[in-house]
A and B are shown apart, each in its own frame.
Chain A
């Protein structure tokens, strides 16, 4: 994750960081918790997990657990924040995101030996279940953590998630196919403004949060 220092965190949207109280430069923790949880919800949705009660399969860890972990690490000094490293929410959000990915990856290693059985089970479920629709999200069947962390699979899931929305499809193609990462670069390629790209990202977040990125195997099964 880019931490705002050398990443794509530009200056298109205000306000950016978490509001710090003037008295002692401490953050507003209610606001921080809210924004971290919202970001956690987006990250969970990226990996086909979603909703308040969603957990990383096999770990039982929820968004709230990850938020609490980074907040505790921050308030007890295990995560230190200095403004030169970027805004606080980005530092904590990046730490939380990495924790979520590590939890998923750990589970995928543990599952490797039984993965083929899991795929068999998923196939059976897809066959037996009347086409699982997107509206069954967030409580759809467990995603496969191995596939979820595969970059190729990730790109495919993004592509499938936006194929019916031209503006979002343009954004996804610029990032996935042209490997453009900065809003200004994407805007140039798409022929719009950087602010419009930020709007599309916002729209994509909301869509993702509602529907999640569904695994391409599942999506193909749905379209049959």
Chain B
């Protein structure tokens, strides 16, 4: 086998790797999410930790009373955890939106757990109950119909949300 310098050896392996597994730009955001999920990464926690590292770097600039490099500033803005106190109205709006989205997600989960999966069936034993007038029956039918429509609507929304 040829005696190769470490750089040559590394470049050869890199070349094989790119031909087999692809270059970094071949992994789009969707695939990245899947790969991270498969490998057991928590991306939110990862972002928080990256933010802390960048923040520590930013502190060096603040201590030295220097302006932050624009890219560092942008990175801090992008990775800023949602749990941090908002610094302006845009951040407040972003956090509020994320908060509302979380509540909606929870409500959807709750609704999907409560709404029956199969076709709807209502108890109709009241029809044979004595003492009910035709008007009473009509009212009960109307309530049943309204309830049915409401549940169907909820189910429809839930299906769209999935």
Binding site for B on A (CB under 8 A): 1-2, 4, 7-9, 13, 15-17, 21, 24, 26-31, 33-39, 41-43, 46, 50-52, 64, 67-68, 71-72, 74-77, 87, 89-90, 92-94, 97-98, 101-102, 105, 138, 149, 151-152, 154-155, 158, 171-172, 175-176, 180-182, 186, 198, 201-202, 204-206, 208-210
Closest to A28 in B: B78
* Pair A101/B10 contact, Cβ less than 8 Å: yes
Secondary structure at the B interface, as helix, strand, loop or mixed, is helix
A37 contacts B28, C-beta separation under 8 Å: no
Known contacts A51-B39, A149-B13, A209-B35, A64 near B23 by CB under 8 Å: no
Chain B 17-49 near chain A by CB (<8 Å), digits 1 or 0: 111111111111101111110111111001101
Taking a contact as CB atoms closer than 8 A, the residue among A27, A90, A210 that contacts B24 in the complex is A90
B22/A33 in contact, CB under 8 A: no
Asked if A198 meets B36 with Cβ closer than 8 Å, knowing A64-B50, A76-B57, A151-B13, the reply is no
Identify the B interface with A (CB < 8 A).
1, 6, 9-29, 31-36, 38-43, 46-47, 49-50, 53-54, 57, 69-72, 74-75, 78-79
Partner of B25, one of A31, A37, A90: A90
- CB neighbours (8 Å) of B26 from chain A are 9, 13, 16, 198, 201-202
Q: Which 7 A-B pairs have the closest CB atoms?
A: A93-B24, A38-B32, A29-B78, A75-B72, A75-B71, A1-B14, A181-B19
A17 / chain B contacts, CB cutoff of 8 Å: 25
* Contacts known (A41-B35, A158-B20, A171-B20); A52 close to B75, Cβ less than 8 A: no
Report whether A151 and B18 are in contact in the complex, using a CB–CB cutoff of 8 Å.
Answer: no
Q: Once bound together, how far apart are the Cα atoms of A204 and B27, in whole Å?
A: 12
Beyond known contacts A154-B16, A205-B31: 12 more, CB 8 A cutoff: A28-B78, A33-B47, A34-B43, A37-B43, A41-B41, A51-B39, A64-B50, A74-B71, A75-B54, A90-B25, A98-B14, A204-B20
A37-B46, A51-B40 given; A29·B23 CB < 8 A: no
Task: Give the CA-CA distance A39 to B24 in the complex, in Å.
Answer: 6
A29, B19: Cβ atoms closer than 8 Å: no
Which chain A residue has the least Cβ–Cβ distance from B75?
A29
Contact B57 A209, beta carbon cutoff 8 Å? no
Tell me how far the C-beta of A99 lies from the nearest C-beta in chain B, rounded to whole angstroms.
11
Q: Is the CB of A37 within 8 A of B36?
A: yes
Note all chain B residues with C-beta closer than 8 A to A97. 14, 17, 24
CA distance A28 to B15 in the complex (A): 28
CB distance from B40 to the nearest CB of A (A): 5
Decide if A2 touches B14 in the complex (CB within 8 Å): yes
Cα(A1)–Cα(B36), bound, Å? 22
**Chain B residues closer than 8 Å to A210, beta-carbon distance:** 38-39
